[in-house]
A and B are shown apart, each in its own frame.
Chain A
Amino acid sequence: MKASVTDTAGLVNTDPASVFNDAYRQYSPGVCAYLRTRGVEDPEGVAQDVFLALFPRLGDLRGGPAGLRTLIFTIAHARAVDSHRRRARSPISIEYNPARDGRLTSSAEDQVLDNVTGGHALLENLPEDYREVLALRVIAELSLESTARIMNKSPGAIKQLQRRALARLKESQQETKGQGKS
């Protein structure tokens, strides 16, 4: 049976090639989504850079699947920070998205459905640090300590941050529901 990165037995005795393939198959959508929530311009391209940077470091990997996830999203966080810095130095280029074109109008039903069901739409209304902590905890499935390490904060600060983020998300959900009823 082929070893999977989700196995709890760890990755010590696993072939790095198969670990890399499985990691890409399993975590690349999450990395892509995380980068998109962070506002990276080309999330797919940066996600591929993340995995290219991951491959040489697989030999030093410790901590099993949780360690692999932490390593992947640590690299992704660093790439997102790089992307933000690069974007701050260069003019912003925004790809045309018909869904965001203010000259177009969609049906009210579609709008409500998009707001409720779209995971990105849910996070877009939140401040950046709220978005990041929820993405790391929910999408990346990281522990409190790993999230604190990546965001360079204490676990207590992360606890408070995620609590505020959830409260804000709850408020926005209540507003959405209120708009849907009225």
Chain B
Amino acid sequence: MTNDFRSAGDLHDVQIIEDLLAETGMNHPADTGLLKPALIHVRGLAHGPQPIPRGELAALLATLATGPAADTGNVTSLEAHRRKRRTRLVIAATALSLSLGAGAAVAAVNPEFRDTVQKAVTALVETLAPAPSDRPPGTPAPVDTPAPATVPGHPTPPGKAIPSGPPATPPAASGPQRDETVPVPQTHPGLNGSPSPGQPPAPLMPQPAVPAQPPEQPTTSTPPHQRATIPEPLPAAPATGNHK
């Protein structure tokens, strides 16, 4: 009697379960009495609450509900785009690795290619590098060196020649080597108090920057006429200090 009030859906569900029980041979009353109610509850899960659409599915359902313009192609294009982008990435990576391999092979086989690359790199480095300097990094600037230290008329100890022109190798930062080219005791004789042997101390120094020339000094390579021309700027030194 109660079966008469069942809906079509309920009858459909019962039909599914009875078919299953008959198919497996478990349609005896002893089996169906236990299994049928249990399977009807399991079947009831198919009529549970509908999940609320979220995100992309909600947008898709809204698009389908609102516009007839929406078609399958609009949505599948996203997946196609993703696939295309993935393919493009793979092709780019393959091309890059192939070009790198080809370049390495050419460089290994052709020595001219290596020379060309080396020249190009050298030219690039020379172009981009700062102005060339004879001093190695860390060497103090030449401002420290007094100008008269390299005056050609200056007496040089025997066996130590004054370099004519820029030195082939930059002077090292060590002290003793520097003293050979820059005679500090001559420029500041009163400060250290140790004049060079064979050189009388200068009695009065009008300007410390200009070294006093001893009246008689042994010269080795400097011609005598140059010695006569050097003292001329000396009187002018006090004059330059006065006009301010």
| A residues apposed to B, CB below 8 Å | 16-17, 20-21, 24-25, 28-30, 32-33, 36-37, 43-45, 47-48, 51-52, 55-56, 58-59, 116-120, 122-123, 134-135, 137-141, 144, 159, 162-163, 166-167, 169-170, 173-174, 177
Contact = CB atoms under 8 A, between A and B. Distances in A.
Contact of B26 (A24, A45, A56, A163): A163
Contact of A144 (B23, B38, B39, B68): B23
A165 to B, nearest CB: 9
**Chain B interface SS verdict (over half):** helix
Interface stretch (B41-49, B174-182, B223-231, B232-240): B41-49
B45 to A, nearest CB: 4
A177 B75 CA distance: 52
Nearest to B76: A56
Interface in B46-84: 46-57, 60-61, 64-65, 68, 70-72, 75-76, 79
A120 B45 contact: yes
A120 to B, nearest CB: 7
B149 interface: no
Interface string B90-113: 000000000000000000000000
Contact of A28 (B25, B38, B50): B50
A56 B75 contact: yes
Nearest to A29: B48
Contact of A117 (B31, B39, B41, B65): B41
